[in-house]
Amino acid sequence: MSRIGFKPVEIPEKVKVEYKDGVLHVSGPLGELSLPIKDVEIEIDDEKKEIRVNRLSESKHHKSMHGLYRSLIYNMVKGVAEGWTKELELVGVGYQAKNQGQLLELALGYSHNIIFEIPPEVKVETFSEKGKNPRIKLTSHDKQLVGQIAAKIRSLRKPEPYKGKGVRYVGEEIRRKQGKTA
């Protein structure tokens, strides 16, 4: 059984945390996030600079919410202090990525280029070096939003198991199949 819910979340110097009317507000140098809280109790200790999450009872539902809310709060605090980053790599002949502001233009082997609009909360950068695969770097204070955008871009051309072509996360291992034998 996981004990992650019992670990306190440390509040960095630059981060401000406020709990009012069942909503936790976290603000820092990179942005501001809020989370409606139910099924758990929140304690903010200003002297120790930490947040504690407590269960309302020992029921299975409250136990599962305990760890979930602790993880969500940790992700919010770390996001507004340091930020979250996801990197994608385009593997394939002729695959390209360019960005103009918040518009991401992808050439993924289809008959047309795909234009993907990135939300203003997420910062996007593209890198193209000769001899290396093009890369897309997504950065934001909201971990959930960065992961969702990265998954959506990856779903445009998932890596296939024979040659490994497609959009993948940097460092992702693709299970390769052997293919035909003569």
- Supply the CATH number for residue 148's domain: 3.90.930.12
> HSE-up of 165 (CA within 13 Å, CB side)?
10
pLDDT of residue 181: 81
What does the block give as tokens for 44? Answer: 């903010």
Residue 104 confidence class, pLDDT cut points 50, 70, 90: very high
Q: Are residues 17 and 55 in the same domain?
A: yes
| CA distance between the termini of the chain | 50
Please name the amino acid found at residue 46. Answer: D
Question: Is 177 domain-assigned?
Answer: no
Q: Are residues 53 and 106 in the same domain?
A: no
Question: Is 176 domain-assigned?
Answer: no
Alpha carbon 177 to chain centroid, angstroms: 29
Quote the number of domains for the chain. Answer: 2
List Cα–Cα distances, 145 to 123, 150, 159, in angstroms: 11, 9, 22
Q: Which domain holds residue 71?
A: 4-81
Q: Between 3 and 36, whose confidence is greater?
A: 36
- 57-82, pLDDT tens digit by residue? 989 999 989 999 999 999 999 999 99
